[in-house]
Amino acid sequence: MKPAKSINLRKKILNVPDFPKKGIVFRDISPLLLDPQYFDEAIKKMLGKIKKLKIDVILGIDSRGFLFGPVLARELKVGFIPVRKVNKLLPGKILEEKYKLEYGEDGVKIHADSLKPEQRVLIVDDLVATGGTALATAKLVEKAGCHVAALLFLTELCYLSPRKALKNYKTISIIKFK
């Protein structure tokens, strides 16, 4: 029997130069999501990186963390919590963490009762660039009295040094752009 062909996930990441502004290369995961074989492989690789971690719940960062987080949560048989950006509607009592951007401020929020103290939380997103959103999410988890088990990303823009901002957390990525 012939061994299964290795799938190169990077082949399905589309590089879009000068988007959203000149000098930026946008990493579009749409082609990967469109191909069930590649999406399945991405999930398998993500699961393989976290299988030894004790995880009680997964937080997916708005919005593409919503694509990977629920699938991973289902596989691990744990709950999923969507982390919303501050400008998105979220009813009821919320926990919020703001962070600085190059020009201005942003933030993340969750329902105040969605996390239980002492839970071990996996934070998931499709991409980490500077680490600002992921760091704010980690602080939000800690504000709720929980522990960050790890941060998991499909792609990492290493040339923006996100691990400097995330140095206090276990940070895992599948595809690294150097």
Question: What residues are annotated to the active site?
Answer: 64, 102
Helix (H, G, I), strand (E, B) or coil at 178: coil
Q: List C-alpha distances in Å: 140 to 17, 94, 109, 147.
A: 33, 11, 8, 10
Residues 45/71, Cβ–Cβ less than 8 Å: no
CA–CA separation, 97 vs 116, rounded Å? 17
Q: List C-alpha distances in Å: 2 to 5, 6, 45, 153.
A: 9, 12, 21, 31
CA–CA separation, 153 vs 129, rounded Å? 10
Q: List C-alpha distances in Å: 131 to 107, 161, 163.
A: 13, 8, 7
Rg, C-alpha atoms of the chain: 16
Amino acid in position 74: R
